[in-house]
Amino acid sequence: MKAVLLVGGMGTRLRPLTYRIPKPLIPVIGKPLIMHVIDSLPKEVDEVIIPIGYKKKSMEEYLVKNPPRRKITLVDEHEPMGTGGAVKNVEDHIDGRFLVINGDSISSLDIAKLIDFHRTKKAFATISLWPVENPTPYGVVDLDVDKRIRRFQEKPKREEAFSNLINAGAYALEREILDYIGKGFVSMEREVFPKVLDRGMYGMEFEGYWIDCGRREDLLRAFWTLMGNDMVHIDRRCVHEGAVVRGPVTARAESVIAGAVIGPRAYISERAVVGPASTVERSVLLEDARVGTRCTIVDSIVDAGVTVPDGARITSHILSNAGPDAE
Ligand code: GDD
Ligand code: MG
């Protein structure tokens, strides 16, 4: 079975980090976001197809350096085709029932279960569903007792939302759905889903977690969710005199925690340094980041290789040296 991974977005809300690195390659607890998704695919998925335009080169380089166990095919998308258009664009690679996954979230969804559910319901399309408080930035469903979707609406007004159950962005689809996708820019959610409701579209709810990693605070939440509670993963050699570590904290190899306060909630990547009398709380330091002395870093992400000058206070920020022309 093939899976199409949608990663075409520009990740604008994660700038300036996404000037340096495309969102799918942002390391979340040491593994690119997209690899979390790919690794969650069941065995029966023998090929992952990724339509891609923006920053294709960095993706190719990553795959060459870190060859995945599964076949991954990158297909050129010269300009953004929309979520439906991107799928249509790779139709020659799709040979039967297939999956489509939005590559910008991490979740505990059991995709094998989604496929089973789809089979059992003899569905034309099955989408995964997640409950949220405010459904307006998402696709929202009206579900009947048999879990059949009666109506689907993308980004409704608050008062018009059918329910608080939203499209979590993982679909099992019959190949014939491709016939419902026209040429050019097509939105799967706005144009295709509403058209196939009467062919049998179903929704499967799941439990655990689902995090759309579009914004800094969500990306940080992905770290804390995957790290779990109360865990301290830290090599004693990294912790120097006077340091205070409050879990959950992970500090990777060759990082240096000088007499600093780390956590609660901190992820210190390889070779990152936290100087004396500094605090790093609810924050992530990517590789080789250097936090000087007497700094305070809260709810923030410090990009790889960035130096935070002594005494700096960084709150709710993504700190990166990368700008719009970063290669
Ligand atoms: N290849 C390609 N081409 N991928 C695209 C394109 C495109 O033109 N446009 C968007 N994508 C990718 C994004 O990178 C993302 O992984 C996924 O498709 C969904 O697009 P977003 O732009 O992130 O949409 P959204 O977050 O506003 O809404 C979508 O996701 C929600 C859940 O996070 C919809 O599917 C909603 O219905 C859903 O609730
Ligand atoms: Mg999104």
CA 81 vs. chain centroid, Å, equals: 20
Mean pLDDT of 79-83: 94
Residues 92 and 36 in one domain: yes
Give the β-pairing of 98-102 and 71-76: unpaired
Residue 326: pLDDT over 70:
no
Does the residue 6 lie in any domain? yes
Residues 118 and 149 in one domain: yes
Residue 327: pLDDT over 60:
no
- Distance set, CA 216 to CA 47, 148, 316 (Å): 31, 34, 8
Q: How many structural domains comprise the chain?
A: 2
Nearest ligand by distance to the CA of 154: 1
Identity of residue 9: G
Helix, coil or strand: residue 294: coil
Using CB atoms within 10 A of its CB, is residue 74 exposed (0-12), middle (13-18) or buried (19+)?
middle
pLDDT score at 85? 97
Mean pLDDT of 62-72: 91
Burial 127-154 (b: 16+ CB within 10 A, else e): bbbbebeebeebbbbbbeeebbbeebbb
Give the β-pairing of 98-102 and 165-173: antiparallel
Residues 146 and 210 in one domain: yes
pLDDT score at 8? 84
Residues 59 and 171 in one domain: yes
Q: How far is the CA of 149 from the centre of ligand 2 (A)?
A: 21
pLDDT score at 257? 94
The H-or-E segment that residue 85 falls in is helix 82-89
Last residue of a domain, one of 180, 214, 248: 214
Mean pLDDT of 301-319: 98
Residues 261 and 181 in one domain: no
Domain CATH for 82? 3.90.550.10
Which residues make Cβ contacts (< 8 Å) with residue 237, sequence separation at least 6? none
Residues 65 and 143 in one domain: yes
Residue 325: pLDDT over 80:
no
Last residue of a domain, one of 214, 244, 277: 214
pLDDT score at 283? 98
Q: Which residues line ligand 1 (CB under 6 A)?
A: 6-9, 51, 77, 80-83, 86, 102-105, 138-139, 154, 166-167, 169, 189, 212
Instruction: With beta carbons less than 8 A apart as the criterion, state whether 83 and 187 touch.
Output: yes
pLDDT score at 229? 81
Residues 32 and 123 in one domain: yes
Residue 224: pLDDT over 80:
yes
Does the residue 234 lie in any domain? yes
Residue 212: pLDDT over 70:
yes
Domain CATH for 288? 2.160.10.10
Does the residue 327 lie in any domain? no
Q: How far is the CA of 304 from the centre of ligand 2 (A)?
A: 24
Does the residue 289 lie in any domain? yes
Residues 106 and 45 in one domain: yes
Residues 30 and 90 in one domain: yes
Helix, coil or strand: residue 196: helix
Q: How confident is the model at residue 43 (pLDDT cuts 50, 70, 90)?
A: very high
Residues 48 and 158 in one domain: yes
Q: What is the reported pTM?
A: 0.94
Burial 270-282 (b: 16+ CB within 10 A, else e): bbbbbbbbbbbbb
- DSSP-derived secondary structure for 7-39: -----GGGTTHHHHS-GGG-EETTEEHHHHHHH
Q: Which residue has the higher pLDDT, 10 or 92?
A: 92
Strand ranges of the sheet holding 261-262, from the earlier edge strand across to the other edge = 244-245, 261-262, 279-281, 296-298, 313-315
Residues 174 and 264 in one domain: no
Q: Hey, CA dihedral for 83, 88, 89, 90, is it positive or negative?
A: positive
Q: What is the pLDDT of residues 166-211, one digit of tens each?
A: 999 999 999 999 999 999 999 999 999 999 999 999 999 999 999 9
Nearest ligand by distance to the CA of 137: 1
Q: How far is the CA of 268 from the centre of ligand 2 (A)?
A: 26
Residues 82 and 201 in one domain: yes
Residue 53: pLDDT over 90:
no
- The domain in which residue 246 lies consists of 228-319
Of 11-15, 199-203, 235-239, 323-327, give the lowest mean pLDDT range: 323-327
The per-residue pLDDT of the chain, averaged, comes to 95
Residue 147: pLDDT over 60:
yes
Instruction: With beta carbons less than 8 A apart as the criterion, state whether 87 and 193 touch.
Output: no
CA dist., res. 319 & res. 311, Å (int)? 15
